[in-house]
């Protein structure tokens, strides 16, 4: 049986931009090399950075931890949002976040990112095996 886990997050692009301008090292603390390379190749990198940040936080929410459970250090870099050949964003997890996904028996990760005005929003849907009630 399938178990659906979902998370959503919204980030003001102007807030992402002000944080990045005040603390440029923030980019390497939160985003992977591939994410930074992609975002900074765009005319407005802050829109894409905000979308990826929203996707990372939405993923943590779908995994059931959120930022409060994992802290900002490390976990956000373990979630990578990279474009597929078609341009569609795809999630890949490593480290602690991948371990949580395995524990939750997640077998499919889906992400959607949208931008409008000063906001970037992301929705993450995870498909997992239904937990066995006897194991609770």
Q: Work out how many domains the chain is built from and give that number.
A: 1
What is the model's pTM? 0.91
Report pLDDT for 75. Answer: 87
Radius of gyration (C-alpha) of the chain in whole angstroms? 15
In a domain, 136, yes or no: no
Label the pairing between strands 89-93 and 106-116: unpaired
pLDDT per residue as tens digits for the range 8-62: 999 999 999 999 999 999 999 999 999 999 999 999 999 999 999 999 999 999 9
In a domain, 38, yes or no: yes
Domain interval for residue 69: 2-131
User: Scanning the structure block, which residue is given the tokens 């992609």?
Assistant: 38
Distance CA(51)–CA(80), nearest Å, equals: 12
Q: Which of 48, 109, 115 is nearest to 78 (CA)?
A: 109
Domain harbouring 48, CATH code = 3.90.470.20
């Amino acid at each position: 049986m399938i178990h659906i886990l979902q998370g959503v997050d919204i980030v003001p692009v102007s807030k992402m931009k002000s944080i990045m301008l005040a603390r440029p090292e923030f980019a390497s603390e939160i985003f992977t090399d591939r994410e930074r390379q992609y975002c900074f190749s765009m005319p407005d990198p802050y829109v894409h950075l905000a979308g990826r940040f929203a996707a990372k936080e939405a993923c943590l929410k779908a995994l059931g931890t959120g930022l409060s459970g994992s802290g900002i250090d490390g976990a956000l870099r373990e979630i990578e949002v990279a474009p597929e050949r078609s341009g569609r964003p795809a999630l890949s997890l490593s480290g602690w976040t991948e371990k949580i996904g395995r524990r939750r028996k997640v077998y499919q990760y889906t992400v959607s990112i949208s931008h409008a005005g000063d906001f970037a929003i992301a929705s993450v849907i995870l498909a997992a095996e239904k937990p066995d009630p006897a194991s609770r």
